Structure 1
Amino acid sequence: MLVAGFPFSHAAEAAAPVRGESPDTFEPGEVINSGHRFFGSVSRGLASVVEEATRRWGRPNGYVLGQEASGAFIGGLRYGEGTLFTRNAGDTHVYWEGPSVGFDWGGDGARTMMLAYGLPAVDALFTRYVGINGSAYFVGGFGMTALAANESVVVPIRSGVGFRLGANIGYLKFTPQATWNPF
């Protein structure tokens, strides 16, 4: 889990994709409706979070629906799996994992929606994404951060159970197969 306020080496402006309204992107309403079906009764704050992401990064050209679990005691680990939905490349099952280090402890499980911006191809997702400074946003039980790699931005939106408290630095690595290795 990445927490805003920690200075990362990537600036939000450098990772911001073009905001074009391509037929390969998703309307905010489409993403919100998909999220409501996915998150169920806890989805009240989802619209505000998706609208904020759209305001900052434009319309996503893909999104992931999945679940994840994480735990930490100074060092932490996060593992998840889900399906990447795109208009032009179909649906792809993906996995993610990542380490973190910092003043952090606890554990949580979450249903996760990740919005993908500026993704040139499905294979471009399979890399490490690090946090963008000042990208955290919380409303109605949902948390959002932004992660960047190359010209792509991935915005995880989480709602779950458990308790994890602290500040840390880490990354998420996406893979086409499950792995226990977060590095």
Structure 2
Amino acid sequence: MHASVSRRFATCAMVAAAVAAAVPAAAQQPDASFSSAELVNAGNKFFGEISSGLAAVVEKAVSSYGQPNGYILGQEGGGAIFGGLRYGEGMLYTRNAGSYKVYWQGPSLGLDIGADGARTMMLVYGLPSVDALYTRFGGVDGSAYVVGGFGITALAAGGIRVVPVRSGVGARLGVNVGYLKFTPEATWNPF
């Protein structure tokens, strides 16, 4: 009778292992992405009174790119007279890896003039690890605000997409090509 119980236990263990192997790994792990409602809530807390247009911008980003698996809340400043520079700092939030301080800087070149300061929410898609963020993300940026408002753009590198949502204050108008370089420490070397 003891051997019969051992065989049943072994059979049940093999069936359980086969079922576990058949279930995709993504179904076994909790969802690592952030919903639109979570992003809007975090953005409203961060942006405060100027967040009236945030929900529409976040919904547009999520409908275009899906749900991000990370986001950055921070602030940045920049200026340009055809060539420009941008510098910022903030916190990266992820479900699985925690929160990390990040910095970004980058040059731009184009038909762009003015200066701005912005509170920024960056939606991060396809981030396999925090270290994968520490690289250059290139893209085209367009700015058209005189007093304030939300702007959205998309940058990409190595299968990762970063979508900055900026609420800018200042006077800036133009279109430019450039990149943002993310670092774990405050440095000033956009190149």
Taking structure 2 as the reference length, the TM-score comes to 0.80
* Unaligned 5+ runs, structure 2: 1-26
Paired letter, 2:183? T
CA contact (8 A) 2:143 2:173 kept: no
**What residue in structure 1 maps to residue 189 of structure 2?**
181
Q: How many residues align?
A: 161
**What residue in structure 2 maps to residue 75 of structure 1?**
83
**What residue in structure 2 maps to residue 126 of structure 1?**
134
Paired letter, 1:179? T
- CA distance in 1 between counterparts of 2:123 and 2:30 reads 16
1:156 to 155, 159, 164: 164
**What residue in structure 2 maps to residue 7 of structure 1?**
none
TM-aligned CA deviation for residue 99 of structure 1 = 0.1
**What residue in structure 1 maps to residue 175 of structure 2?**
167
1:22/1:115 CA distance change after superposition, 3 Å: farther
SS of the residue aligned with 1:83?
strand
* Percent of aligned pairs with the same amino acid: 63
* Unaligned 5+ runs, structure 1: 1-19
1:121/1:47 CA distance change after superposition, 3 Å: same
- The C-alpha deviation readout for 1:46-78, integer Å capped at 9, x for no partner, is 111111111111111000000000011121000
SS of the residue aligned with 1:141?
strand
CA contact (8 A) 2:143 2:175 kept: no
TM-aligned CA deviation for residue 27 of structure 1 = 1.0
CA contact (8 A) 1:110 1:161 kept: yes
- The C-alpha deviation readout for 1:26-47, integer Å capped at 9, x for no partner, is 1110000000000001101111
- Higher RCO (C-alpha under 8 Å, 6+ residues apart): 1
SS of the residue aligned with 2:33?
coil
Structure with bigger gyration radius: 2
Deviant stretches of 4+, over 4 Å: 135-138
- CA distance in 2 between counterparts of 1:34 and 1:122 reads 20
